[in-house]
Amino acid sequence: MNSKFKFKIMGNQATTKRNNAFGLFVLMLLVLPFLGFSQDFKLIEVNEYLKREPKKETTSLAGTISVKSLIKDLHPSIYVNNGAVNTYGKPAKVLFVDTPSISKLRDLNLEMSQVELVTVKINKKEDLSTPVDLSFFSNYPSLRVILIKVSFDCSVDMLNNLIKNNKTNFTVLYTVEKPS
On whether the pTM is more than 0.75, the answer is no
Those residues whose C-beta lies under 8 Å from the C-beta of residue 79, and which sit 6 or more positions away, are 85, 86, 87, 88, 96, 97
Question: Please, what are the averages of pLDDT over each run of 10 residues along the chain (180 residues)?
Answer: 57 64 55 44 85 58 72 94 91 93 85 92 88 85 92 88 79 85
Element (H, E) at 68: helix 67-72
Q: Do the beta carbons of residue 156 and residue 172 sit within 8 Å?
A: no
Domain spans of the chain? 1-38, 44-176
pLDDT value for 168? 67
